[in-house]
Amino acid sequence: MALAGGAVLLAIVALTCASIAGRALAPLGLGAGPIRGIYDLTEIGLATAVFAFLPWCQFSRGHATVDLFAARIPAPANRALDWLFDLAMLGVAGVIAWRLALGMLDKARFGEVTQIAQIPVWWGYAAGLAGAMGFALIAAFCVLRSGRALLTGRTDE
């Protein structure tokens, strides 16, 4: 999913560059111009990419942490904290996926579209929901991984 998110970001960069070049060439009368709805595309694409990066971030323990006391407490306590934080992150991921699903259904039901490009808004929600569901699945795996480390006393990282 992170690679797909990177591909989406690259596509947004290419579209933005093309739109800027088109805007710069428009006065020359070459038939070029800015891409209609580039702001809508950028907004949807960036949200999609962010949600696509969340599963990998969770799996690789890339979220921000405060390790102020980690060096001073025993390893079993650190493993217990890892498990608790992974459990909390699973809760957060579940709430995010749940609320995105409800938002997507709401946007689809009312037929809301973006202002300029007239793209159905629920498409952006659906793309984000795919990443959020992946995030929740990986968060559940991380709870199991840290739980196993807590019970066995060793980590496989």
Amino acid identity of residue 153, one-letter, is G
- Does 29 score more than 70 pLDDT? yes
Question: Which domain, by its residues, includes 129?
Answer: 2-152
Domain membership flag for residue 90: yes
Domain membership flag for residue 95: yes
The pLDDT assigned to 65 comes to 76
| Number of domains making up the chain | 1
The pLDDT assigned to 156 comes to 63
- Does 27 score more than 70 pLDDT? yes
What's the DSSP call for residue 120? B
Domain membership flag for residue 157: no
3-state secondary structure of 58: helix
Give ∠ CA 22-26-31 in degrees, rounded to 5: 85
Domain membership flag for residue 99: yes
**Nearest residue to 127 via CA among 44, 38, 54, 56:** 44
Domain membership flag for residue 85: yes
Domain membership flag for residue 114: yes
pLDDT tens digit sequence for 33-90: 899 999 999 999 999 999 999 999 999 998 877 777 777 889 899 899 999 999 999 9
- Name 8's Cβ contacts closer than 8 Å, sequence gap at least 6: 45, 48, 49, 52
**How sure is the predictor about 103, in pLDDT bands with cuts at 50, 70 and 90?**
very high
- Does 157 score more than 70 pLDDT? no
**pTM of the predicted model as reported, rounded to 2 decimal places:** 0.87
